[in-house]
């Protein structure tokens, strides 16, 4: 039986990855320090013999006994609200955490896939973004802690590959949405759906002309799985090329939820990229992957998930990270 370590297991992507690798018949070790993750996302896996959970911070030395086949490094705060609140942790998990996991992979002779991000392209001057674009990132801006940590993650991963012959994969993840996103993480999908469900106006930042492209979680997980099982070492974009402006997106959410709330405009956060759209030619060619779920269908599923949450969860105040350390 294959044994697979997934860091960030209690998070949005990590928990869906745990489900997928359990379904593929692996023995899965989930690891998380629960700083932004939530055990609720994986509690259904606890009764399974093939699932173990380690409450551990990957920026500290990581030890896992026995053999290991695969490591997926998905531990990181991943929304602007989170990395503005916990910038140092964000830098540490992308740098020290990645270093520890690469070392672990080397010890075990395991294949490792690390989660990078479209943020490595910063506020892109090239559109759409293919993997050969080097990006336009401010190292000292508020997003720098995330963007530069992920750029370092890519850099050290390639160094381990070239210098130690480690079997590595790098996925560049574009905006992804679905169940188990935190309602209060500030990302636009839970923000808008949460506002609609609470009867609040939808807050569009700037004039809403900035663009994003949204990938449904099932498509994202499929892309990551295919990349891990491929033999391709260079970074691969996994995202949906269908682009929308944030204003159009807000209108779409109003229609979907049937809310009679209005759209209100707030200042655009600093360094908020004006446009973002993946070029997925590489994923198509190498992984034979492209997104399958239409936005209307994916958003409906996400809406049904958020609608099923309790009123307390819906109104839950922002998590106080200082109490969680
Ligand atoms: N956004 C918005 N209102 C919100 C939350 C986000 O208009 O309540 C905008 C945000 O400024 C950005 C886009 O939606 O332009 C996507 O934001 P998100 O945080 O989801 O992802 P990222 O900026 O990292 O792509």
Do 33 and 58 form a contact (C-beta atoms < 8 A)? yes
Do 17 and 74 form a contact (C-beta atoms < 8 A)? yes
What is the distance, to the nearest Å, from the Cα of residue 201 to the centroid of all Cα atoms in its chain?
A: 26
What are 126-171's pLDDT values in tens digits? 999 999 999 999 999 999 999 999 999 999 999 999 999 999 999 9
Residue 38, in any domain of the structure: yes
Cα of 188 to ligand 1 centre, how many Å? 5
Q: Residue 191: CB within 6 Å of ligand 1?
A: yes
**Encoding tokens for residue 229?**
């099982």
- Shared domain check, 220 and 138: yes
- Shared domain check, 314 and 195: yes
- Shared domain check, 172 and 157: yes
CA-202 nearest atom, ligand 1:
8
Strand 168-173 relative to strand 176-177, pairing: unpaired
Residue 310, in any domain of the structure: yes
CA-119 nearest atom, ligand 1:
24
Residue 289, in any domain of the structure: no
Residue 218, in any domain of the structure: yes
Rounded to an integer, the average pLDDT of 254-278 is: 94
Cα of 94 to ligand 1 centre, how many Å? 22
Residue 55, in any domain of the structure: yes
Angle among Cα 145, 322, 41 to the nearest 5 degrees reads 80
Q: Residue 202: CB within 6 Å of ligand 1?
A: no
Backbone phi, psi, residue 6, to 5°: -120, 115
Residue 325, in any domain of the structure: no
- Shared domain check, 205 and 150: no
- Shared domain check, 228 and 206: no
- Shared domain check, 190 and 97: no
Cα of 187 to ligand 1 centre, how many Å? 6
Q: What is this structure's pTM?
A: 0.95
Q: Where are the alpha helices (DSSP H) in the chain?
A: 12-23, 80-85, 87-92, 98-108, 144-164, 188-198, 217-229, 246-257, 281-287, 295-307, 311-315
Residue 161, in any domain of the structure: yes
Among 83-87, 177-181, 318-322, the range of highest mean pLDDT:
177-181
Average pLDDT over the chain reads 95
pLDDT of 324 strictly over 60: no
- Shared domain check, 219 and 82: yes
Quote the pLDDT of residue 143: 93
- Shared domain check, 69 and 199: no
Q: In the structure, what pLDDT confidence band is assigned to residue 321 with cuts at 50, 70 and 90?
A: very low
Cα of 175 to ligand 1 centre, how many Å? 10
Q: In the structure, what pLDDT confidence band is assigned to residue 312 with cuts at 50, 70 and 90?
A: confident
Q: Residue 245: CB within 6 Å of ligand 1?
A: no
Q: Residue 181: CB within 6 Å of ligand 1?
A: no
Residue 195 maps to which CATH number? 3.90.25.10
pLDDT of 322 strictly over 90: no
Q: In the structure, what pLDDT confidence band is assigned to residue 184 with cuts at 50, 70 and 90?
A: confident
Quote the pLDDT of residue 323: 43
Of the two residues 325 and 237, the one the predictor is more confident about is: 237
Residue-number span of the structural domain to which 254 is assigned: 182-213+242-275+294-320
Pocket test for ligand 1, best of 83, 246, 248, 274 (most atoms within 8 A of CB): 246
Domains: count for the chain: 2
Percent of the chain whose pLDDT exceeds 90: 91
What residues act catalytically?
146
Name the burial class of residue 179, with classes exposed (0-12), middle (13-18) and buried (19+) by CB atoms within 10 angstroms of its CB: middle
- Shared domain check, 97 and 224: yes
Residue 128 maps to which CATH number? 3.40.50.720
Residue 281, in any domain of the structure: no
What are 90-127's pLDDT values in tens digits? 999 999 999 999 999 999 999 999 999 999 999 999 99
What are 188-219's pLDDT values in tens digits? 999 999 999 999 999 999 999 999 999 999 99
pLDDT of 318 strictly over 80: no
- Shared domain check, 105 and 219: yes
What is the distance, to the nearest Å, from the Cα of residue 321 to the centroid of all Cα atoms in its chain?
A: 19
Q: Residue 321: CB within 6 Å of ligand 1?
A: no
- Shared domain check, 253 and 129: no
What are 26-70's pLDDT values in tens digits? 999 999 999 999 999 999 999 999 999 999 999 999 999 999 999
- Shared domain check, 191 and 89: no
Q: Residue 182: CB within 6 Å of ligand 1?
A: no
């Amino acid at each position: 039986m294959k044994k697979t370590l997934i860091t960030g297991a209690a998070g949005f992507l990590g928990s869906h990855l745990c489900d997928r690798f359990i379904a593929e018949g692996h023995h899965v070790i989930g690891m998380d320090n629960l700083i932004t993750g939530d055990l609720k996302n994986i509690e259904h896996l606890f009764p399974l013999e093939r699932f173990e959970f380690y409450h551990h911070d990957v920026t500290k030395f990581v030890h896992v006994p026995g053999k290991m086949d695969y490591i997926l490094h998905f531990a990181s705060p991943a929304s602007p609200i989170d990395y503005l609140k916990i910038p140092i942790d964000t830098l540490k998990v992308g740098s020290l955490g990645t270093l520890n996991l690469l070392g672990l992979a080397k010890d075990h002779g395991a294949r490792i896939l690390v989660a990078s991000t479209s943020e490595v392209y910063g506020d892109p001057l090239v559109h759409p973004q293919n993997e050969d674009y080097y990006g336009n990132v401010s190292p000292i801006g508020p997003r720098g802690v995330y963007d530069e940590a992920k750029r370092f993650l890519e850099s050290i991963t390639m160094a381990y590959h070239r210098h130690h012959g480690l079997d590595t994969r790098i996925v560049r993840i574009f905006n992804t949405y679905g169940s188990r996103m935190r309602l209060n993480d500030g990302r636009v999908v839970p923000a808008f759906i949460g506002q609609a469900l609470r009867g609040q106006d939808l807050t569009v930042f700037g004039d809403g002309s900035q663009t994003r492209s949204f990938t449904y979680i099932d498509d994202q997980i499929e892309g990551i799985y295919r990349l891990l099982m491929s033999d391709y070492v260079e970074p691969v974009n996994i995202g949906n090329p269908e682009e929308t402006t944030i204003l159009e997106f807000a209108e779409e959410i109003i229609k979907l939820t049937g809310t009679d709330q209005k759209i209100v405009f707030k200042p655009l956060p600093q360094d908020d990229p004006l446009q973002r759209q993946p070029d997925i030619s590489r994923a198509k060619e190498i992984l034979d992957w492209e997104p399958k779920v239409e936005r209307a269908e994916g958003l409906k599923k996400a809406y049904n998930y958020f609608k099923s949450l309790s009123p307390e969860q819906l109104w839950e105040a922002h998590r106080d990270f200082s109490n969680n350390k």
